[in-house]
Amino acid sequence: MPEEVDDTPELPQEMLDLIMSFLRDDSAALKCCSLVCKAWCWSAQSYLFRDLVVLDRNKDPALKMPVSASPYYNVTHYVRGFHVQGVQFDNVPTYPKSVFSSLSCMLTRLHLFRCHFDDLDSLVHIIQMCPSIQDLHLENVHWDKNGTASLASRESWSPSALTHLGLKDIRIAPFLRWLTLSTKPLFITHLKFDPIKPEDLPIICHLCSRVNKSVTFLQICLAMEDGLISYLPCQVSHELQSLATSSHIARLYSNTFNIPNYKSRPTLVQLVTLRVDRFMDSTNEIDKQSNSLSWTARILSKVDAPDTFKYLILQMVISRTGQLDECRVTRWDFFDEALGGDIFVNFQYLEFEMVGKVDMEGVTSLLSRRLPKLAQRGRLRFTNVI
């Protein structure tokens, strides 16, 4: 009898890659595809194992097995994102540090959440093990001592690959002092800081001056505490005192708030989006609320991007509409003139993100009256996050 011939057509590798890319966020479908044949299995693995999550080390001691070096099967080749949560690194001499050693060269994303280190040097050492890191996010990361913050980092690690940096609930100032030690150029496009305390302002201003030509997205949250409002960028950073022609937005700020127009280098010249969390928070005292309100206007005055700036998002926590007018430093006319006129020629919208239960109709009506130019041009948006 003649042998049976398999007439099943083979899909080109490019087609397989497109299919897997389409299913990249559907892990169940990817698992099914990986069981079809070897070709489908190899294509699916790059998405199935792209992110590795390590929880508290005591909860999953078997994690060592899938990341250990094996001559037959090793998923570490596919891992690009490493997320660590709830690990006390000061009590872990080898694990999960051993995991980093097998992954570090391939990682492009490193996220640490609720982790603790003996000192800043230990955290720096982990980061330096990842030479290709592009996305670094640290949240609720703490250390006992600042240490020397690794001057050796100038030689052993370069932050030039880093494009996304998010720092939340950590000591921002000492970490950024280490990061800016490097003389290599920085090309960070996305910056997130929460919360910003008075002692963080000088180094944040310095970092912004280093990345002013690359950063397109800036998300900030100002600490609701005393002392922040007394700082101005021109007072805390030498980079912001160099003589240069001031921009239209800087002159508008100076005229509106009657503050001397400190001339400076162009700042945030490629910024597209500025997001301010807790721009107004009625759960705090009025004096502390003024920190965020004053600084948001000041930061906007430093956006010298007339062609690229498109979006301003202000998060607000209020319980009633009247609280929008309670803070004395709120100058809606500045925002209306800056964003409703022609200073930013491609500006799309100012979005108010209201948190909690609030009368959205009342908020929309009041802010539309306070911001008539923006309202007339259809540049106001209102969203409610419950």
Cα 258 to its chain centre, rounded Å, is: 32
**15-29, 106-120, 199-213, 343-357: segment of lowest average pLDDT:** 15-29
Q: Quick one: pLDDT at residue 91?
A: 58
Burial of 370 (0-12, 13-18, 19+ CB in 10 A): middle
The span from the CA of 362 to the CA of 172, in Å, is 38
∠ CA 138-83-179 to the nearest 5 degrees?
A: 35
Instruction: Parse the chain into domains and list their residue ranges.
Output: 11-48, 49-188, 220-386
Q: Quick one: pLDDT at residue 235?
A: 45
Give the residue, 288 or 159, on which the prediction is more confident.
159
% the chain with pLDDT above 70: 73
> What confidence tier does 331 reach under pLDDT thresholds 50, 70, 90?
confident
Confidence check: pLDDT of 354 > 60: yes
Q: Quick one: pLDDT at residue 69?
A: 46
The span from the CA of 19 to the CA of 37, in Å, is 14
pLDDT digits (tens, 9 = 90+) for 62-82: 445 444 444 445 667 778 888
Average pLDDT estimate for 314-342:
86
Confidence check: pLDDT of 334 > 80: yes
Is residue 16 within 8 A of residue 43, CB to CB? The reply is yes
Domain 49-188: homologous superfamily in CATH: Ribonuclease Inhibitor (3.80.10.10)
Give the residue, 68 or 102, on which the prediction is more confident.
102
Q: Quick one: pLDDT at residue 259?
A: 78
> What confidence tier does 238 reach under pLDDT thresholds 50, 70, 90?
very low
Confidence check: pLDDT of 187 > 90: yes
Look at residue 364 and give its three-state secondary structure.
helix
Nearest one of 332, 279, 312, 317 to 379, comparing CA atoms: 312
Average pLDDT of the chain is: 79
Q: What is the DSSP letter of 22?
A: H
Is residue 180 within 8 A of residue 237, CB to CB? The reply is no
Confidence check: pLDDT of 366 > 90: yes
Is residue 46 within 8 A of residue 78, CB to CB? The reply is yes
Give the residue, 147 or 318, on which the prediction is more confident.
318
